[in-house]
Amino acid sequence: MAAIVYLLAAAVSAFVWSRAALPWITRPVRWLSGMLIMSVLVLLPVQALATLELLRWIGAIHLWALATVPVVMLAALLLWARKAQKPDHRDMERRRSATLVSSSLPSYLWLCAALLTVSYLVFAFNLFTSYPSGSDALTYHLPVALHWLQNGSLRIPSLSAWQYGLPGNAEIGMMLFLSTGHETLVPLVNVFVLVLFGLATYEIAMRVSRGNKMAAVAVTVIALSMPIVEFQSFSGYVDLFGSAFLITAVALFLARNDGVGSERAKFHRRTMLLLSALACGVSIGTKPVFYVYAAVYCLAVAITLMRESGLFGREFAGGMAVVVAGVLLPSVFWFGRGLAATGNPLFPMQVKVGQRVLLKGFAPSEITANEFSDKFVRQRAEWIIYPWTEYLRNPGEQLIPYSEGSGTGAAFAAFVPLGLLFAMFRAGSRRSGPTETILLATWIGLAVVWWTSLQRMPRFGLPLLAVACVLSAPLVVVLQEFAGRGFAILLVVCVVATCGISAFVPLREIGGRLKNHGWSRSHVYGYPALVDDLPPGTTLLNNTGVRDANFTLAGRKLTNRVIADFEVPNPITPAFLAERHVDFVVEAAQPNGEKTSFRSTAQFTAGNQESTSANAGGKRWTFWTVERPANATGNRQ
């Protein structure tokens, strides 16, 4: 309940503020700004209380204490909005003139939008009749969020596990939804950023196509039809979260001069710069992958401001101060937390120059193996034709190569690579505008970085995929204007094909549950139902070799504490079990008796420990009871 009050108060505050303080901007930019402000209002109070907890000024983060912050802010905002100046007449006229170009959309775009909506609704129905899914989500994103919630702290509990050291702006949202007790709500974090992703793509496409609404909508349809986006929207992955805020930063930066000519032009410009930088900051606080993108963003912003106002001008210094403050505000907590725990602000990332390690941490290849991305292609040269092949070595039970980490879809394959070539031709023949040229140059540079430094993971390149869609807007303009019917038919066919393939996955899952009547959590996740009946606070150590069990063993009410497999030492010692107050060590074995875990329990199971066994998910699960030493206290953290 506290989380719902907190989120609602933040949403209303953001709406009131963006309406009162940003009168000159167009509706999509106002929505982008409002949603960004809401996100910042949600994140900052949590980070502030977590900082107090890190400093040991408070014992733990309490959600009701947290909820009072946006409620007080909302009251203050309402008072301010009543007294605030009425919008400048010219501002209103400018906004009206910009929004009046709302020529009605052609029927094929409505059809594409309807097809996409149906496809997304199938995913939503699957989610709301089931539980959150996704390998990385269940392995560490959700366990980290649950750990924070159960402990009231965002501390790094174990330096041997990089999973706990990652920045976690997205996980803060997940934590708030987990606190409602309805874990199905967790992916709403990604549904929220999906809207942001769509709006930002539309807004940038509008600028690249010089205000052609139909082209911008078509480009947005192509971007939203990408399976990687659709699957991430209903999962606990965080790549869409970071990407959405990053391209929001670009969209808001491009809107910085929309207030020029107004009496308050300077204020408008600074406000948009701040909002843009805040969006970039939220992205930085999502995942280390976005450090690279953010560095390029900051460089591009600095060069643009320098060209607009000169290197030594006060305008440049002021603008850069606003940008630095905005970028750091939603992200500095994570750097401070890493610094306090390890002396390395970039923890869990290792800082290395040549062979010399300057700051200890994990090498990128320890977090994501260099060979990991090879499962998307048969040989590396095939990356250049990935949009057409969409190969996946092990598509799993679903047999479909689309997932949270793979798949760009038919519409992307048909239009975007060609659109990129067309954009390059336009830039070469000096037909493109400055926004298009700079975006294209940045895209090419970042594509090289993605290949060399981001392990060639498709989902790590999600911002690149979005910008590639945007850059195909000039091609879409030409096709719409001069080959309209053919373009319409091709786009609809591509969207039908992609949505059909994507939606098959949730449809098959829904059908499977209908057939087997498997609606319970234990049935969906494939673990023994006895886990749901354990007393609240029971601590289970996951030594099953089933990575998803890091989250699923928390039980239906999320009241069990789980020691995740990535923080378990090998061998498991009685001292470790005593230190972490473990009640049960959980193991699993294949039907042939072969254990699925790799950590040795020889030291622990040598005695006559009691055990309970149960079958679930095609495995035999064993729950070893851990005897507590007589002098042990129940003093759990």
Partner 1 sequence: MHHEPLRRVHECVFGVLALERASRWIRACSHAKDTGSARIVVVTRGFMPEAENRRDIPEKRWAGRLLWIAVASALFWLVHGFAIRSLFQAVRHTASKLGH
User: Which residues contact partner 1 by CB under 8 A?
Assistant: 93-94, 96-98, 100-101, 103, 209-212, 385, 387-392, 395, 398-402, 407, 409-410, 413-415, 417-418, 422, 474-475, 477-479, 481-483, 486-487, 490, 493-494, 497-498, 500-501, 504, 508, 511, 515
Residue 40 corresponds to which tokens in the numbers above? 């910042």
* Cis previous bond, 348, omega within 30: yes
Calpha distance 438→442 (Å, rounded): 6
Choose between 393 and 557: whose C-beta lies nearer to partner 1: 393
- For residue 345, the one-letter residue type is P
Q: Which residues pair with residue 349 across a beta bridge? A: 362
Choose between 29 and 142: whose C-beta lies nearer to partner 1: 29
Q: Containing H/E element for 448?
A: helix 434-453
Choose between 144 and 218: whose C-beta lies nearer to partner 1: 218
Choose between 347 and 402: whose C-beta lies nearer to partner 1: 402
Burial 274-308 (b: 16+ CB within 10 A, else e): bbbbbbbbbbbbbbbbbebbbeebbebbbebbeee
Choose between 363 and 385: whose C-beta lies nearer to partner 1: 385
Least distance between partner 1 and beta carbon 262 (Å): 13
DSSP-assigned letters across all residues of 570-604 = SS--HHHHHHTT-SEEEEEE-TTS-B---S--HHH
Choose between 102 and 355: whose C-beta lies nearer to partner 1: 102
Choose between 281 and 387: whose C-beta lies nearer to partner 1: 387
Least distance between partner 1 and beta carbon 630 (Å): 54
3-state secondary structure of 613: strand
Alpha carbon distance, N-terminus to C-terminus of the chain: 24
Choose between 407 and 458: whose C-beta lies nearer to partner 1: 407
Q: Give the pairing of strands 584-589 and 539-543.
A: parallel
Calpha distance 572→597 (Å, rounded): 12
Least distance between partner 1 and beta carbon 387 (Å): 7
The DSSP call for residue 635 is: -
Calpha distance 80→349 (Å, rounded): 43
Least distance between partner 1 and beta carbon 407 (Å): 7
Choose between 295 and 384: whose C-beta lies nearer to partner 1: 384
Residue 420 corresponds to which tokens in the numbers above? 């990129």
Q: Which residues pair with residue 519 across a beta bridge? A: none
Least distance between partner 1 and beta carbon 496 (Å): 12
CA 44, distance to chain mean position in Å, is 17
Choose between 396 and 537: whose C-beta lies nearer to partner 1: 396
CB 581, CB 636: distance < 8 Å: yes
Least distance between partner 1 and beta carbon 433 (Å): 10
Choose between 474 and 528: whose C-beta lies nearer to partner 1: 474
- For residue 510, the one-letter residue type is I
Residue 183 corresponds to which tokens in the numbers above? 């874990």
DSSP-assigned letters across all residues of 272-290 = HHHHHHHHHHHHHTT-THH
* Residue that the structure tokens 């673990």 belong to: 527
Calpha distance 271→248 (Å, rounded): 14
Choose between 446 and 475: whose C-beta lies nearer to partner 1: 475
Least distance between partner 1 and beta carbon 574 (Å): 46
Choose between 54 and 479: whose C-beta lies nearer to partner 1: 479
Q: Which of 583, 588, 487 is nearest to 215 (CA)?
A: 487
Task: Please tell me the total number of residues recorded for the chain in this structure.
Answer: 637
Least distance between partner 1 and beta carbon 200 (Å): 20
Burial 410-431 (b: 16+ CB within 10 A, else e): bbbbbbbbebbebbeebbeeee
The DSSP call for residue 84 is: S
* Residue that the structure tokens 């799993």 belong to: 396
Choose between 405 and 474: whose C-beta lies nearer to partner 1: 474
CA 562, distance to chain mean position in Å, is 24
Least distance between partner 1 and beta carbon 421 (Å): 9
Calpha distance 226→458 (Å, rounded): 12
CB 376, CB 391: distance < 8 Å: yes
Q: Which residues pair with residue 561 across a beta bridge? A: 539
Least distance between partner 1 and beta carbon 495 (Å): 11
Choose between 338 and 409: whose C-beta lies nearer to partner 1: 409
The DSSP call for residue 624 is: E
Least distance between partner 1 and beta carbon 132 (Å): 23
Least distance between partner 1 and beta carbon 621 (Å): 25
CB 287, CB 239: distance < 8 Å: yes
Least distance between partner 1 and beta carbon 235 (Å): 19
CA distances from residue 75 to 9, 19, 47, 628 in whole angstroms, order as listed: 9, 15, 22, 51
Least distance between partner 1 and beta carbon 276 (Å): 21
Least distance between partner 1 and beta carbon 481 (Å): 6
Choose between 258 and 583: whose C-beta lies nearer to partner 1: 258
Least distance between partner 1 and beta carbon 123 (Å): 16
- For residue 396, the one-letter residue type is G
Contacts of 221 (CB under 8 A, 6+ apart): 109, 112, 113, 116, 411, 491, 495
Q: Containing H/E element for 352?
A: strand 351-353
